Amino acid sequence: MVFAPGRLAVGASALAVVLTACSDPTREMSFKASIEERGSRQLELIAEVSNFSAEPKTFNDLDVDQRLHNALQLQTADGARGSFTPIDNTISYTINKVIAPQESFQFRLFGIQSEEFVSGDVDFIINNDYFNYRSIALSCCRN
């Protein structure tokens, strides 16, 4: 099979457009998650997203591994406990916070220390892209 030089250039340009259209929305962003003890067996899971890109990004969801979530009895300050997502066994919190360029945002969940050691992932969903999420492993407790 022989390709004409013009067709190869058109093919390469089309590929570049496809790759650009499917770019990773988490580029030029920072993700942090930690569990901090607050005393009297109380704790806080803090998830922070920072946007270093030139365009706004939307922090849609925070998904917490179900085992970690349940062991720590996590909930928001107003008592919301998230919704179960069976496809990946997570508890999902809908946030939908637009994060401007050079801005950071923290989302906090409150709970209690577990008497057992427990670990799991916390997933950050940006711009509703469920294929290019960022995940951080956390572990906690054993009194």
Is 100 contained in some domain?
yes
Is 125 contained in some domain?
yes
- Residue 126: pLDDT above 90? yes
pLDDT in tens, 58-78: 999 999 999 999 999 999 999
Instruction: Choose among 143, 139, 136, 117: nearest CA to 48.
Output: 136
pLDDT at 143: 59
Q: How confident is the model at residue 13 (pLDDT cuts 50, 70, 90)?
A: very low
Average pLDDT over residues 10-20: 39
Is 41 contained in some domain?
yes
Residue with tokens 């022989």: 2
pLDDT at 137: 97
Is 13 contained in some domain?
no
Is 18 contained in some domain?
no
Is 23 contained in some domain?
no
- The H or E element containing residue 19 is helix 5-21
Using DSSP's 3-state secondary structure scheme, residue 3 falls into: coil
Amino acid symbol at 73: Q
Q: How confident is the model at residue 23 (pLDDT cuts 50, 70, 90)?
A: confident
Is 33 contained in some domain?
yes
Amino acid symbol at 137: A
Phi, psi at 70, each rounded to 5° = -70, -40
Average pLDDT, the chain: 87
Is 51 contained in some domain?
yes
Segments forming the whole domain that contains residue 103:
28-140
Number of domains in the chain: 1
Average pLDDT over residues 4-21: 41
Report if pTM > 0.85. Answer: no
How far is it, in rounded angstroms, from Cα 108 to Cα 30?
A: 17
Q: How confident is the model at residue 116 (pLDDT cuts 50, 70, 90)?
A: very high
How far is it, in rounded angstroms, from Cα 45 to Cα 137?
A: 12
How far is it, in rounded angstroms, from Cα 39 to Cα 130?
A: 36
- Residue 130: pLDDT above 90? no
We report the CATH number of the domain holding residue 105 as 2.60.40.10
